[in-house]
Amino acid sequence: MSRTGRCLCGAVSYEIAQSGDTFGACHCDQCRHWTGSVMMALTVAKDDLTVTGEALKWFESSDWGQRGFCATCGASLFYRLKAGKLAGEWHVAVGTLDTLDGLKLGGEIFHDRTAGAYAFAGELKRMTAAEAEAFFATLG
Ligand SMILES: [Zn+2]
Ligand SMILES: [Zn+2]
C-alpha cells in the first residue's frame, strides 16, 4: 500500500508508492546516537520513494552509509547505503510516517547493544552485533 510521511516541521515530506508491511529495528551505536533511541525503519526501494523539500540534508555517518535529516527541525528521516547490493534501498524512519496502520516490527539487529536496558516483546528475528556485522560483510 502507499504511504506518506514527513518531518516534525513539515519542510520535508515523502510518498511511498509501495513497501512491505514489516520494519526493522537497529540498536547499533550509530543509530542510537543519531536517533537518540532506536532506529526503526521501513525498507523502501528508491524508485518507490518520492521526497519533497530542500531542507533534506545528508550526514556522512560512515564510509558506507548516509543519514538524511531535516535541516530545519532536525528530524531523523532516512538511512541509505552508498554502495553495494543494498544501495538502491532507503530505510525510512517509521516514526516519520503519518500512520503506522498495517505495519509490524519484524526483527532487530545489534540487539545485544541495549545492554539489557530494554527489550522488544514478541517473536522477532534477532541478530547480535557480531551476527549483523558478519551478515553485512557478505553484502559487499
Ligand atoms: Zn523539519
Ligand atoms: Zn544501526
pLDDT at 64 over 80: yes
CATH code of the domain in which 96 resides = 2.170.150.70
pLDDT at 84 over 90: no
Ligand 1: centre distance to CA 57 (Å): 11
Residues with CB under 5 A from ligand 2 (ion): 26, 28, 31
* CA atoms of 105 and 40, how far apart (whole Å): 8
Ligand 1: centre distance to CA 94 (Å): 15
**Please, which pLDDT band fits residue 136 given cuts at 50, 70 and 90?**
confident
Nearest ligand to the CA of 14 is 1
pLDDT of residue 140: 63
Q: With respect to residue 117, please indicate whether it lies within any of the assigned structural domains.
A: no
Largest Cα–Cα distance in the chain? 40
Answering whether pTM is above 0.85, one says yes
Domain encompassing residue 9: 3-105
* CA atoms of 124 and 136, how far apart (whole Å): 19
Tens digits of residue pLDDT in 99-131: 999 999 999 999 999 999 999 999 999 999 999
Ligand 2: centre distance to CA 48 (Å): 22
Nearest ligand to the CA of 110 is 2
The answer to whether 3 and 19 have CB atoms below 8 angstroms apart is: yes
Among 19, 103, 34, residue whose Cα is nearest residue 74: 34
Q: With respect to residue 133, please indicate whether it lies within any of the assigned structural domains.
A: no
Q: With respect to residue 119, please indicate whether it lies within any of the assigned structural domains.
A: no
Q: With respect to residue 129, please indicate whether it lies within any of the assigned structural domains.
A: no
pLDDT of residue 101: 96
Among 26, 9, 5, 14, residue whose Cα is nearest residue 70: 9
Q: With respect to residue 52, please indicate whether it lies within any of the assigned structural domains.
A: yes
As for how many domains the chain has, the answer is: 1
